[in-house]
Amino acid sequence: MTRLKTAVFPVAGLGTRFLPVTKSVPKELLPVHDRPLIEYAVEEARAAGIEHFIFVNAPSKQALEDHFRAAPVLEADLKSKGKHAALAKIRNTVLGDALKVVYQDHALGLGHAVLCAKHLVGDSAFAVLLPDDFLLCDTPCMTQMVEAWQSVGGNMVATVDVGRSAVSAYGCLNVTSQRGRVLSADGVIEKPDARHAPSTHAVIGRYILQGSVMDALARTRPGAGNEIQLTDAIAEDSKTSGLFGLEFAGQRFDCGQPAGFAQATMTMAGLAPARLSLAA
Ligand code: G1P
């Protein structure tokens, strides 16, 4: 059984849709209900057995790293005041040496961000989690993916059927067959024209990728939006590795924009109903 130990978190985005707050606070530290957005993705990876966490960060977003480092002065203060519950909360977020950070100096696309982590990932299969895609699931999405991937192998992406009107905002799978929740695909196209999209199965921000995707990324030229696209490298590598989509069980919120953030917060606070049984 191949074990998945490393996850890459591309977090260098400057959060322009959330200005002015993102002028000084990284978007990923904004709270969804009672915790920063990034914590959910890190916890999801941890629950799936990930032991090495790589942030592809921007130099201006150091606070994001600090959130996962030890805070000895604050810890000592809470301890001396007997605030044990608060102490547990901040200790739980400490990743220590398990967290590595690499900086993306230029915003050349998601594929470029992932490629920045190549020297830390090595040759093994690795996960990628985009914290903006907030996933509410009974069984965490990455755990569902690892389980499915153990039996099919290759490259695997989480998918949601977003319908034809929305598909041009996503990577879109060219699906050839389906077995239960697992889709087989022979390609993926980044942001297709809605009329020519090969399906309505959109890639959302959870990936399990073979190490060879890094080699494909190193050869990938700018694609849609003139950016180096992760999906283009996945399409190339999948010709030999194979490509699968998982229609995960759970609900997805697009926290890349303020309305999705608000919906996620409302749902987590119990103020809006959750829909966990189907991918949504
Ligand atoms: C990125 C990926 C795209 C994927 C999407 C999921 O796009 O390039 O393939 O479908 O994330 O959220 P972005 O949202 O950065 O435009």
CA-CA distance, 156 to 245, in Å (whole number)? Answer: 6
CA-CA distance, 4 to 216, in Å (whole number)? Answer: 20
Q: Measuring CA to CA, how many Å separate 12 from each of 8, 20, 118, 167, 242?
A: 12, 17, 16, 24, 29
- How many angstroms does the Cα of residue 170 sit away from the middle of ligand 1? 5
CA-CA distance, 205 to 159, in Å (whole number)? Answer: 9
- How many angstroms does the Cα of residue 270 sit away from the middle of ligand 1? 28
Q: Measuring CA to CA, how many Å separate 67 from each of 16, 34, 62, 99, 261?
A: 21, 14, 9, 11, 20
CA-CA distance, 207 to 128, in Å (whole number)? Answer: 5
**pLDDT given for residue 271 in this prediction:** 84
- How many angstroms does the Cα of residue 188 sit away from the middle of ligand 1? 12
pTM, 2 dp: 0.96
Q: Is 114 in the pocket of ligand 1 (CB under 6 A)?
A: no
Q: What domains lie within the chain, and their CATH numbers?
A: 6-268 (3.90.550.10)
CA-CA distance, 26 to 23, in Å (whole number)? Answer: 8
Question: For residue 231, which atom of ligand 1 is closest to its CA?
Answer: 9
Which residue puts its alpha carbon closest to atom 14 of ligand 1?
Answer: 170
- pLDDT (tens, 9 = 90+) of the chain, 280 residues, equals 678 999 999 999 999 999 999 999 999 999 999 999 999 999 999 999 999 999 999 999 999 999 999 999 999 999 999 999 999 999 989 999 999 999 998 889 999 999 999 999 999 999 999 999 999 999 999 999 999 999 999 999 999 999 999 999 999 999 999 999 999 999 999 999 999 999 999 999 999 999 999 999 999 999 999 999 999 999 999 999 999 999 999 999 999 999 999 999 999 998 888 877 544 4
DSSP state of 218: H
Our mutation pick for probing the ligand 1 site, out of 9, 37, 129, 170, counting the most ligand atoms within 8 A of Cβ, is 170
Which residue puts its alpha carbon closest to atom 7 of ligand 1?
Answer: 170
**pLDDT given for residue 277 in this prediction:** 58
Q: Is 44 in the pocket of ligand 1 (CB under 6 A)?
A: no
- How many angstroms does the Cα of residue 88 sit away from the middle of ligand 1? 34
Our mutation pick for probing the ligand 1 site, out of 190, 203, 257, counting the most ligand atoms within 8 A of Cβ, is 203
